[in-house]
Structure 1
């Protein structure tokens, strides 16, 4: 049996989950009710000025979300570390594909497994329908913009939670440590 896993940079994956599930609540009430409301109540400072309260977003900010992950360690399958979600050490995947280079790696996997003649698989992989975030793809540059708002000590703690994923899949967090707020 052939096993493969598709992985993503841990910090980009976390940000993508935030953007897809919690940012701009419209149409995302399930995640707001399940996580967002609690995150806001835990980390949002209440202001006696009613105008300030009205101007604040109702959904959690990215910094509040990161603080929740670090302090509460309450994970959903969309942001749970791979090493706990997919058991890469136990399952011993033969192929590890990275989202950042999936187009070329997917072609390699199809070739390696001799699946290029299976018309339905080939058609699906050639015309892959992505589960696209309506806010757009979360890439490195955009991630750096969000992480620039996060205090350095919080990024360090977040890294510690995902350290096994960084190491197992050969990712680095240097660029994120360099852009964190001072």
Structure 2
């Protein structure tokens, strides 16, 4: 709950500079899966498995006894299972600290309502990040963390080949509004 009144919030929205960064939805989605279900700490993975993993297991694994026994840690959620669940079930999820990771950006940030003055692209963070700090007038006071090149790009073709073209089309359709709103192209993924 905000400690600010509606009037204070409105004043800040009208007078503060507002910025956001977006990322290609397909790359963002794969990065999410890898960081929460593959390379994360046991604590992070168990949080995600408790929140969504057990539902994924119940929905997509046939042997009910097997998935009941697996409702422990290390459910080994596959990329196919995760992507299936997201496109099959989660379109009506409300935003929270977990769903914010996979919901389309236009739902989690609502730029049409928020009206950012600056929209940066994660793919251009190394260039746009310093520009943003300068534009905000805080480049001398704040330093961005060291930028590292994402390895997700090298895994895109491999991981998305596992889910098939039909599932990929559904996933792209799930993020269609973000593709249009932020100017990303789907052509490279659908060829």
- Classify the TM-score, shorter chain: 0.7 to 0.9
State the alpha-carbon separation in 1 of the partners of residues 151 and 112 from structure 2: 27
After the TM superposition, list the runs of 4 or more consecutive aligned residues in structure 1 that deviate by more than 4 angstroms. Answer: none
State the alpha-carbon separation in 1 of the partners of residues 179 and 105 from structure 2: 10
State the alpha-carbon separation in 1 of the partners of residues 180 and 24 from structure 2: 11
TM-score normalised by length of structure 2: 0.75
User: CA separation of 1:94/1:137 partners in 2, compared to 1, >3 Å: closer, same or farther?
Assistant: same
**What is the Cα deviation at residue 47 of structure 1?**
9.7
- Partner residue of 1:168? 181
- Partner residue of 1:15? 30
- Partner residue of 1:6? 21
State the alpha-carbon separation in 2 of the partners of residues 81 and 18 from structure 1: 15
Retained in 2: the 8 A contact 1:18–1:62? yes
Kindly report which structure 2 residues correspond to 1:36-47, keeping only aligned pairs within 5 A, or say none: 36-46=53-63
2:190 maps to which of 174, 177, 182: 177
Q: Does 1:145 align with 2:154?
A: no
**What is the Cα deviation at residue 138 of structure 1?**
4.3
Q: 1:1-32 CA deviation, whole Å, 9 max, x = no partner?
A: 11000111101111111111123673321111
Retained in 1: the 8 A contact 2:58–2:64? no
How many corresponding residue pairs?
A: 162
**What is the Cα deviation at residue 163 of structure 1?**
0.6
- Partner residue of 1:32? 49
Root mean square deviation of aligned Cα: 2.6
Q: Partner of 1:96: helix, strand, or coil? A: strand
- Partner residue of 1:98? 121
Retained in 2: the 8 A contact 1:6–1:96? yes
Question: Structure 2: which 5+ runs fail to align?
Answer: 1-15, 94-98
